[in-house]
Amino acid sequence: MNFFQVKNQDKTTRARTGVIQTDHGLIQTPCFMPVGTQAVVKTLDQRDLTELKAPIILGNTYHLHLRPGEKLIKRLGGLHKFMNWSGPILTDSGGFQVFSLGLQKTKKPNPNQKPSKPLVKIDDNGVDFRSHIDGSLRRFTPESAIKIQHDLGADIIMAFDECTPDNADQKYAAQAMERTHRWAVQSLAAHKKLQTRQKNNQYLFGIIQGANNSELRKKSAQYICSLDFDGIAIGGESIGYNMTATEKILDWVYPYLPAEKPHYAMGLGLNPLDLFAVVERGIDMFDCVAPSRLARHGMLFVQGADKHRININNSGFTRDVRPIDKNCACSTCQNYSRAYLHHLFKAQEMTAMRLATIHNLHFYIDLMDQIRQAIGNGSFSRLMKKWR
């Protein structure tokens, strides 16, 4: 069996179903991947993830490198064993965090302080950055990002890339793209070299960049898809957080994406409708912190509500004995009322965040189930209409 196989191709859209095979189990696609940044999906434990039938979870290389460190995790048997999760794991390359943390911290400098040393310094061979935990100086290169991911031992790993911001000018975006392309080749080489020593199969994905520029995106898609990656990801600051731009970018790159490899949109899934927008554009995998982050703030998905979500903190829910969503089969909806959840949020009880996270993740995982079924039986467009 191949790493990836397409099962069904939708007749009227680019949507398709498929299956990814890893040493830690099969992943039915298209799929939403919950994010477990620090070797844990915030507020949950791995029994919750098993109950939620999470098909695969993400870990963040940047965070795990800084704490507890990939050497420790390797010594303790790898990330699966460390966190006691026997299902598939994907780790990112650290690129996004390195840049986004650098951008965040330099956006609003304190005018009374003399400018501190830049947090992120990019050269053609890698990136210097400071740890957000202790300020220590660190460096990522394509080789080190791959080595860290081999030590962590995830089933799917990512090439090291430069994530260019939305507002990058064309010249900078082009430079960053070229660097990402060179790093893609270096990531592949590093992976091949280390691969022979690994017990478990690890599959490496390349990342298309090119900001919001159609020519750059096409060029990047063409180049990345020409390389020997196991899957193709589409990266960039816009993806997921600016859906108009995301849809354009996905349309630009689609003609270059090899049908026989999985397609991954990185950092996407802010709103249930976004899931349809990318699935109909031929995307097989995506991840997002949004459903769990929204949950921790009391924003809960409800089919048919405004933006398909409610804010459980609103006083209107004080006496509402209904479950969050009457059609939801998650353990939170089976056991607790909106009134109780409203109370737990008002009382700032941590339990509220966990129960809300269970609901929002279940909502996405269940919706992806419905989407896969609909693609399989030819009713995907009908399902999409029902939601829009």
Active site residue 151: no
List the structure tokens of 204: 């490496």
> Which residue among the candidates 92, 151, 274, 325 is catalytic per the annotation?
92
Please state the closest distance from residue 282 (CB atom) to a copy of itself, in A: 35
**Residues 104-135, buried b or exposed e (16+ Cβ, 10 A)?**
eeeeeeeeeeeeeeebbebeeebbbbbeeeee
> Residue 121 or 132: which CB sits closer to a copy of itself?
132
- 31 marked among binding-site residues: no
User: Contact at 8 Å (CB) between 39 and 15?
Assistant: no
Question: Is 44 one of the binding residues for a copy of itself (CB under 8 A)?
Answer: yes
Segment contacting a copy of itself (CB under 8 A): 61-69, 103-111, 203-211, 370-378? 61-69
User: Looking only at residues 78 through 107 of this chain, which bind a copy of itself when binding is defined by CB under 8 A?
Assistant: 82-84
209, exposed or middle or buried, with CB in 10 Å at 0-12, 13-18, 19+? buried
Rounded Cα gap, residues 268 and 277, in angstroms: 10
By the 10 Å C-beta count (0-12 exposed, 13-18 middle, 19+ buried), 326 is classed as exposed
Cis peptide before 34 (omega within 30 of 0): no
Judged by CB under 8 A, which of 319, 322, 382, 385 binds a copy of itself? 319
Binding mask 346-365 for a copy of itself (x = CB under 8 A): xx-xxx-xxx----------
CB closer to a copy of itself out of 216 and 352? 352
Closest separation in Å from C-beta 354 to a copy of itself: 7
Residue 335 within binding range of a copy of itself, rule CB under 8 A: yes
- 15 is an interface residue for a copy of itself by CB under 8 A: no
The binding site for Zn(2+) comprises 328, 330, 333, 359
Residues that are catalytic: 92, 287
The binding site for substrate comprises 92-96, 161, 209, 236
